[in-house]
Amino acid sequence: MKYVASFIFFFVSVSSFCSCTGHTEKTNNSAYVQDQGSLITVERFDIDFHSYLIDPTTEKEISLKEKYPQFLKAFGTVTVDNKDVDVDSPECFARLREYFSNKILSKIYTDALSQFADMTIYQQQLTEAASRANTLLKGKQLPTFGVHVSGFKANTIVLDNYISISTDKYLGKDYPAYQEFFEEYQRIQMQPEYIVRDYLKAWLLTEQPKSNKRKDLVSEMLYEGKILYALQQLLPDWSEADILGYTADQIKWCDDNSKNIWKKTVDQNNLFSTDFLTIQKYMDEAPYTASISADSPGRIGAWLGLQIIKNYAKNTGDDLSSILALDNNQNILNKAKYNP
């Protein structure tokens, strides 16, 4: 059974997303949050598990199994060679202790705990987003959120009504350990503040799974565009650069070259292409989009998709729920009238 959406590139390739059911812990009620003014609470598996690593007692093993019955199994699976584990087996905890005994990983773990010692600011942002989701998406409620440390393995673990993110992927683009493992274009995404965006994107991807219809570039672009547009509505104070994970200069380049981006995409017959490599060039994380220009940012397809959906929303006045439910690509293109 798959438990994990392991995003080395931080949700930039929506086609790699997966989820599974089975988590039964209590979910956050966004309507209650809105009425009572209380904060959404992020579950701190990272702290509880670190306490166990420091003092690995049987009592703490029992406590972890009782508090995180489904998540612990998923966490063990992705950290122990991506194989299903039996949390009732002594071998499970022994292998977890062995994995986290690495000195470099131990340092990363403590740095992550230090960076995210106080989650209040992120809980506040999630609470505000929960209120907006409840209004804009007709009563939709956010799931329970948690954090863990994976050692650069599983960025996001998704269960039914539960999403956990690995905080060791959000220690800042200049974090020393990142230099060895990640390229500069990847490190741009590894900022602490992006954890809120990525929680919400993970949730939107589970709420709006991909259609099994035709797989072509325009389908990928518009699917990603709808998700990004929804993020803009849930995080209205965020810049488009931060929603996309671009720098300000990259957004400016896209805006300045929008006409040429669209012209090349159409003239090269890429828009409706089903070629895997073509789709990959437009949608996957990379230093630049090879089909467009060496000066372009990667994932131009995501940027294009967002522009088309924004045009569609402006021209039609459709609400967010209706936009997320759209499944006729030609109709979207016709009504968006995107032609910079």
DSSP 8-state code for residue 4? E
Return the beta strands (E) in the chain as ranges: 4-5, 42-44, 144-148, 156-159, 162-166
Q: Which residues are bridge partners to 156 per DSSP? A: 5, 165
DSSP code, position 167: G
Q: Is the pTM of this model over 0.75?
A: yes
* Least confident interval from 81-85, 210-214, 235-239: 81-85
CA angle 84, 66, 53 (to 5 degrees): 70
Least confident of 6-20, 68-82, 129-143: 6-20
Instruction: Say yes or no to pLDDT of 40 above 60.
Output: yes
pLDDT at 31 over 80: no
How far is it, in rounded angstroms, from Cα 259 to Cα 243? 22
**Phi-psi map region of 226: left, alpha, beta (phi>0 left; psi -120 to 50 alpha):** alpha
Quote the distance between the C-alpha of residue 83 and its chain's center.
23
Residues 6+ away with beta carbon under 8 Å from 187: 173, 174, 178
For position 82, what pLDDT does the model report?
64
* Whether the predicted pLDDT of 125 surpasses 80: yes
Per cent of the chain over pLDDT 70 is: 88
**Quick one: 103 exposed, middle or buried, by C-beta within 10 A (0-12, 13-18, 19+)?**
exposed
pLDDT over threshold 70, residue 72: yes
Does pLDDT of 330 surpass 70?
yes
Q: To the nearest whole percent, how much of the chain has pLDDT over 90?
A: 80
Q: Mean pLDDT over residues 151-160, rounded?
A: 91
Look at the alpha carbons of 174, 178, 183, 187 in this order and tell me if their dihedral is positive or negative: negative
- The per-residue pLDDT for 211 is 80
Q: Residue 5: phi, psi to the nearest 5?
A: -105, 100
**Tokens at 162, concatenated:** 């539960």
Calpha distance 266→29 (Å, rounded): 45
| 260 Cβ contact list (under 8 Å, min separation 6) | 292, 293
Q: What is the pLDDT, as a whole number, of residue 18?
A: 37
pLDDT at residue 292 greater than cutoff 60: yes
Cβ–Cβ < 8 Å for 154, 6? yes
What does the pLDDT read at residue 37? 56
pLDDT at 271 > cutoff 80: yes
pLDDT bucket at 156, cuts 50 / 70 / 90: very high
C-beta separation of 185 from 287 below 8 A: yes
Q: What are the DSSP calls for 129-164, one per residue?
A: HHHHHHHHTTS----EEEEE--SSS-SEEEETTEEE
The CA–CA distances, whole Å, from 107 to 75, 186, 193, 243, 278 equal 19, 21, 21, 30, 40
Whether 33 shows a pLDDT value over 70: the answer reads no
